[in-house]
Structure 1
Amino acid sequence: MAADKVPGMARIAVIGAGMGAMATAARLAVAGHRVVVYERAATYGGAVRRFERDGFAFDTGPGLLPLPAVYRDLFVKTGKQPLEECVELVQVDPSSRHLFADGTQMSLPNASRAGVVAALDEALGAGAGERWGDFLVRAREAWDRTRRPLLEEPLWPNWSVLADREPYPSVPHKKLLRTRRATTLAEVAAWELRDPRLTALLENHALAYGLDPRTAPAGAAVLPYMEHAFGTWYVRGGIGELARAMYERCLARRVEFRFDASVARIAEKNGRAAGVELDDGTVEDADFVVAGVAPGVLDGLVPGTALRGADEVPPQRGASSRLTVLLALRGGRPEEAAHRTVVHTPDREDELSRLFGERPGLPAAPTVTVSRPDDPALVPDAEHEAATLTVTVPSGLPVSESAVERVLGVAERALPGLRDRLLWHEVRTPADIAEATGVDGGAVPAPALAAADGRLLHPSNSTRVPGLFAVGGWAHPGGGLPHSGMSGALVAGLIVEGPEFRGSQ
């Protein structure tokens, strides 16, 4: 059997049942291969989980779906039923509501440049919308330059070109006798947007992915552009319904799942991945192994083997995590409530220093995202509401009850009377994420970004062990639902077509 290309019908072992892993499994199975998924937990979904209690239901991972085209393509390529026949997609409008520290409030329409410009002018004053609109034009150029290499193609062998090249066409900034161009997202905000509220709006897109806008490259402008250009979408019933639909698609393609099956190591034969050994000592042979796990976990599965060389992209370190507070509320959801409200911190410098500085912790008043889905499937009846609070926090951060109280206090700006309405709340900390995903400190991966000396790239899907591939948020093209879905397409392509595979056309 050739070492670089799938045989006619291969046995493929997939470690983990996260979104990227299931995307790989479905695509390989529809190509005619025998695929077995080994998941250490009792269910599928990875970071996409669901919590239910007393008739309330919540997403404990991502709550919205950007760039649904990735999953539309997956469902088209793996069966007769398109995505919209398997889940109900709803475009969220307004896309988001923002409460700023100075008392300013505004709501931004979904996927409407003219609507966003008008909303910004009305809320922030004449000219604010134009500056944001011009920024989005430049962000689109950055997107056009990086979309294929950072989302649709396997990582380039000469990936250092991406590390050195800043794709965002920043506006020249003159100060005294010098002319400079923005190299970080914070500089883009300060020099091109010139309004603290627009700065908060832009920087929150980085913060939501656990990125420090002071060091994130200017090319991180693609993050708000993706939302603006392709819209913000909600899956009726929660993102867990998307995971369910993917699991059922895998079953329909005859993918076999083995839950509560922890892999102890990846078996090798003649220098090549040859299967998996489970904790109970059982060895399952395979022609290829696909690992949907974090780099630290993968290192432990291949002891004594250098998975990556010094000239390759190293695994990301120091990624942030999430604190999530699930709220069961008495009283129905007001009709005028926005699906997503961002309550911005009054002290951004303090927040950033505590998130990314030497003294990690939760600021006195962190930025809190409040999610209030208009979805009867999440509540026991119309007289109750399910809401979720999300805060970016340092990975590994211990969370005290006083910290949760601070988050609740901030959220009251978006949920008046919160404490009087509160029936109960459930907290999900970085430790809970670590337990669910196996990732050290409960870190959450960000999407791959260019520039920044390659710090925000992710390791290639191929490894130095022939027959072993990496998939999911900790491999190229990085974290986030669309990127994890694309990692599945890339790994399937590399296995079926071999190293010459160059991505979707």
Structure 2
Amino acid sequence: MARIVVVGAGIGAMAAAARLAVAGHGVTVVERGDTHGGAVGRRVRDGFSFDTGPGLLYLPAVWRDLFLKTGKRPLEECVELVRPADPVVEHRLPDGTRLRLPGLSRGATIRAVREALGGDTAERWTAVLGRAREAWEVSRRPMMEEPLTARTDPAPFRHDPYPAVPHRRGLFRRPAPADDLLTTATRELGDPRAVAVLTSGLWDWGVNPADAPAGALALPYVEQTFGTWYPLGGTRALADALYARCLERRVDFRFGVEAVAVAEENGRASGVEAADGTVLPADHVVLGGWSPSPGSRGGVADPLREPPGNAARAWSRATLLLALRGRRPAGTPHRTVVHGATAAEPPVTVLQPDDPSLWPTGEHATAVVTVPVPVGSGGALPAGTAERLEAAADAVVPDLADRELWRELRTPAEIERDTGAPGGAIPGPALGGGVTGRAAAPNPGPLPGTHRVGALAHPGGGLPHAGMTGALVAGLIVEGPDWRGSY
């Protein structure tokens, strides 16, 4: 039995801890804060609860696999997953168009697009999603299901998996250039409204469509194909269930312990040094999230490499939490997206979950209003951000002026405080695609005996990807460096 110390109690770190513990190892998790979950946080006030991280769940198969392999109770017995009632999302476009999209029904989605945006746009939408499916099938295994190590074939990371579409230049049809996602979507969809709708979900993954390869269209394909899910109690309920599963597997959690360095002996990790000088001995060290690198003593940058691309190009978010009196009106979409003047402008998303567990009584409701913001402003919001959030809330939440009990604005500074992420950065998933692609950090750390999980590690940020980091690192530790996936 190996001694393993996991630094951080984020979602990826706990995923690794549970899998390593069930393999028979002794696992200790050290966390500088006083709770688990990392970016999957919760704000509780006056009987109201709000997710402060992601508000929806994609690819629940990642978590079904984890719970299946780490205990007797499956995911569905630990977390009540529901599909929000149709329409899953309503898009409000600047020209006044409203597009309501269902979940898990390709035919119904195409009908809704046709009715709102026209038949030609619906045909183009179908073709683009078909090519996005090809990108997903090509990239799924190397970009999500296999570890990133020195043995990894670099080709999938260098090339955009989105298939080139011939288009006419002069007298001849030639393959389209390898453009960024926004340029590709604009050329292939034609209608700027469809471009805004299809690319808007990328922001939820921490991806700017203007700074991403076309292959990232696989992300909206995943949403439309595998559905959007909501854990009753919020996504924090998933973090709570994962924490409980770790405790069942006898994982030892130590909160309020800040790791400042990885101890080294004979060129290999030998433990973790805490801020009080204590060293926890270990045969393997798993670094979660923005953990210190070997010898960095509290720094977040790895001295042996540049920051991974998914961190250097990350965005953050501003969030307005609304506590409301009165029930959520029947037929209210779970998610409403209020679009800006162009698809290049980050949209505002309003979540109004139908979940009484979030409210003090059945005569209340909540709304969470978010917009992506750049990292690097010292925690301050760009000019006009608060006004955009308030305007979207006024437009979407019925009778807001009469129903509002209180509101609370969260900025990147709160995200940095809660997660340790500089500037409140929320890294996106790894994406293949040359200049516009981005790679997360390799799963093995720079020092033998160390491994990385969480949003900075391959395959990057987002709930399903973070969960996969735990599976990949557990596989490498248990099976060895030649292991290539499916642990």
Q: Which amino acid aligns with 2:131?
A: R
CA distance in 2 between counterparts of 1:298 and 1:19 reads 22
Residue 176 (structure 1) aligned to one of 170, 173, 182? 170
- Post-superposition Cα deviations, 1:454-494, rounded to whole Å, max 9, x if no partner, equal 74111111023110001001100000000000000000000
Contact kept? 2:12, 2:470, Cα under 8 Å: yes
CA distance in 2 between counterparts of 1:194 and 1:454 reads 22
For 1:65, what is the secondary structure of its paired residue? coil
- The answer on 1:31 being equivalent to 2:11 is no
- The answer on 1:121 being equivalent to 2:114 is yes
Map 1:485-504 → 2, pairs under 5 A:
485-504=467-486
Return closer, same or farther for 1:101/1:297 CA change in 2, 3 Å cut-off: farther
For 2:270, what is the secondary structure of its paired residue? strand
Contact kept? 1:315, 1:458, Cα under 8 Å: yes
- The size of the alignment, in residue pairs, is 481
CA distance in 2 between counterparts of 1:432 and 1:37 reads 23
Return closer, same or farther for 1:305/1:51 CA change in 2, 3 Å cut-off: closer
Residue in 2 that maps onto 1:11: 3
Q: Shift of residue 497 of structure 1?
A: 0.8
Return closer, same or farther for 1:408/1:315 CA change in 2, 3 Å cut-off: closer
CA distance in 1 between counterparts of 2:223 and 2:187 reads 22
Q: Shift of residue 180 of structure 1?
A: 4.2
Contact kept? 2:263, 2:294, Cα under 8 Å: no
Q: Shift of residue 293 of structure 1?
A: 2.4
Q: Which amino acid aligns with 1:96?
A: V
Contact kept? 1:13, 1:36, Cα under 8 Å: yes
For 1:52, what is the secondary structure of its paired residue? strand
Q: Which runs of 5+ in 1 are unaligned?
A: 1-8, 352-365
Return closer, same or farther for 1:390/1:152 CA change in 2, 3 Å cut-off: same
Contact kept? 1:307, 1:465, Cα under 8 Å: no
CA distance in 2 between counterparts of 1:491 and 1:481 reads 16
TM-score normalised by L of structure 2: 0.94
Contact kept? 2:83, 2:229, Cα under 8 Å: yes
Contact kept? 2:212, 2:436, Cα under 8 Å: no
Map 1:103-182 → 2, pairs under 5 A:
103-155=96-148, 157-177=151-171, 179-181=174-176, 182=178
CA distance in 1 between counterparts of 2:451 and 2:341 reads 44
For 1:316, what is the secondary structure of its paired residue? helix
Residue in 2 that maps onto 1:360: none
- Post-superposition Cα deviations, 1:36-80, rounded to whole Å, max 9, x if no partner, equal 000000000000111111111100000111000000000000000
Map 1:477-492 → 2, pairs under 5 A:
477-492=459-474
CA distance in 2 between counterparts of 1:322 and 1:341 reads 17
CA distance in 2 between counterparts of 1:324 and 1:190 reads 29
CA distance in 2 between counterparts of 1:68 and 1:431 reads 30
For 1:66, what is the secondary structure of its paired residue? coil
Residue in 2 that maps onto 1:393: 373
Contact kept? 1:291, 1:298, Cα under 8 Å: no
CA distance in 2 between counterparts of 1:393 and 1:291 reads 27
CA distance in 2 between counterparts of 1:175 and 1:142 reads 25
Moved more, 294-303 or 425-434: 294-303
- The answer on 1:472 being equivalent to 2:464 is no
Return closer, same or farther for 1:29/1:114 CA change in 2, 3 Å cut-off: same
Contact kept? 2:58, 2:226, Cα under 8 Å: yes
Q: Which amino acid aligns with 1:110?
A: G
Contact kept? 2:33, 2:256, Cα under 8 Å: yes
Moved more, 438-447 or 299-308: 299-308
Return closer, same or farther for 1:439/1:297 CA change in 2, 3 Å cut-off: farther
Residue 347 (structure 2) aligned to one of 354, 367, 373? 367
For 1:63, what is the secondary structure of its paired residue? coil
Residue in 1 that maps onto 2:281: 285
Contact kept? 1:308, 1:314, Cα under 8 Å: no
CA distance in 1 between counterparts of 2:478 and 2:212 reads 35
Q: Shift of residue 175 of structure 1?
A: 3.6
Residue 422 (structure 1) aligned to one of 394, 398, 404? 404
CA distance in 2 between counterparts of 1:212 and 1:106 reads 22
Contact kept? 1:110, 1:228, Cα under 8 Å: yes
For 1:173, what is the secondary structure of its paired residue? strand
CA distance in 2 between counterparts of 1:112 and 1:273 reads 50
Moved more, 495-504 or 289-298: 289-298
Return closer, same or farther for 1:418/1:177 CA change in 2, 3 Å cut-off: farther
- Post-superposition Cα deviations, 1:208-258, rounded to whole Å, max 9, x if no partner, equal 333332231010111101101111000001111100100000000000000
For 2:53, what is the secondary structure of its paired residue? coil
Residue in 1 that maps onto 2:41: 49
CA distance in 2 between counterparts of 1:239 and 1:220 reads 24
Q: Shift of residue 303 of structure 1?
A: 8.2
Residue 260 (structure 1) aligned to one of 244, 256, 264? 256
Return closer, same or farther for 1:202/1:299 CA change in 2, 3 Å cut-off: farther
Q: Shift of residue 315 of structure 1?
A: 6.6
Q: Shift of residue 170 of structure 1?
A: 3.1
Q: Shift of residue 126 of structure 1?
A: 1.8
Return closer, same or farther for 1:279/1:296 CA change in 2, 3 Å cut-off: closer
Return closer, same or farther for 1:49/1:201 CA change in 2, 3 Å cut-off: same
Q: Which runs of 5+ in 2 are unaligned?
A: none
Residue 102 (structure 1) aligned to one of 86, 95, 104? 95
Contact kept? 1:368, 1:411, Cα under 8 Å: no
CA distance in 1 between counterparts of 2:266 and 2:136 reads 42
Map 1:17-416 → 2, pairs under 5 A:
17-92=9-84, 93-155=86-148, 157-177=151-171, 179-181=174-176, 182-294=178-290, 300-301=296-297, 308=304, 316-349=311-344, 351=345, 367-397=347-377, 398-399=380-381, 403-416=385-398
CA distance in 2 between counterparts of 1:462 and 1:30 reads 21
Aligned identity (percent) is 53
Contact kept? 2:186, 2:195, Cα under 8 Å: yes
Residue in 2 that maps onto 1:5: none
CA distance in 2 between counterparts of 1:434 and 1:386 reads 24
TM-score normalised by L of structure 1: 0.91
